[in-house]
Chains A and B, each alone.
Chain A
Amino acid sequence: MDALSRGCIIASTLILPVFVISKADAHAVCGDRIFPATLGINDPGVGDELSVPTLSYQPSNANDQQEFDVGAFSWSKTLFSPTVGTVGVTFSDGATWLHPGGSGWDPLSTELQWGNFCAPEHEAMITFGFNVSWANTGTGSQSQPFNTYQPVIDVGKGFGDLPDSFRSLRPLATTFELSETFPGESVTQGIQNSTNLNGGFTIQYSLPYYNSQVAAIGNGFLRHLIPITEFTFSKPIANFAPGTNVTTGTVQPGVIYLGDTYQVGVEAILPLNGASGHGVGVIASLDLYLDDLLPGTLGKPLFGS
Chain B
Amino acid sequence: MKLLPSAACLFALLSASQALAHAFLVKAAPGVGSTVGTPPTNLLMTYTEGLEVPFCGVTVTDASGATVQKGKPQAVPGHSDEMSVPLNITGPGTFTVAWHAVSVDTHHTQGSFKFTVSQ
Contacts and interface: CB of A to CB of B under 8 A. Distances in A.
A213 B21 contact: no
Contacts of B107: 25, 27, 291-292, 295
Contact of A212 (B1, B14, B24): B24
Interface of A: 25, 27, 29, 31-32, 34, 52-53, 71, 73, 75, 91, 93, 105, 108, 120, 164, 208, 211-216, 223, 260-262, 286, 288-289, 291-293, 295
B112 interface: yes
B14 A216 contact: no
Interface in B1-58: 1-5, 10, 13-14, 16, 19-22, 24-28, 31-34, 48-49
B19 A295 contact: no
6 contacts: A25-B108, A27-B107, A34-B24, A291-B107, A292-B21, A295-B106
Contact of A208 (B21, B24, B27, B28): B24
B111 interface: yes
Q: Is the interface of B mostly helix, strand, loop or mixed?
A: loop
Interface string B77-119: 0000000000000000000000000000111111111100000
Contacts, number: 92
A29 B22 contact: yes
A53 to B, nearest CB: 8
The interface size bin for chain B is 20 to 34
B19 A260 contact: yes
A105 B2 CA distance: 10
A262 B114 CA distance: 29
Contacts of B2: 73, 93, 105
A29 B111 CA distance: 11
B32 A260 contact: no
Contacts of A289: 21
Contacts of B28: 216
A215 B105 contact: no
B113 A31 contact: no
Contacts of B20: 261, 292-293, 295
A295 B114 CA distance: 32
A8 B88 CA distance: 53
Contacts of A73: 2-4
A222 to B, nearest CB: 13
Given A208-B24, A289-B21, A213 B32 contact: yes
A215 B108 contact: no
A181 to B, nearest CB: 22
Contact of A216 (B1, B4, B34): B34
B15 to A, nearest CB: 10
B111 A213 contact: yes
B32 A293 contact: no
B48 A32 contact: no
Contacts of B105: 292, 295
Nearest to B28: A216
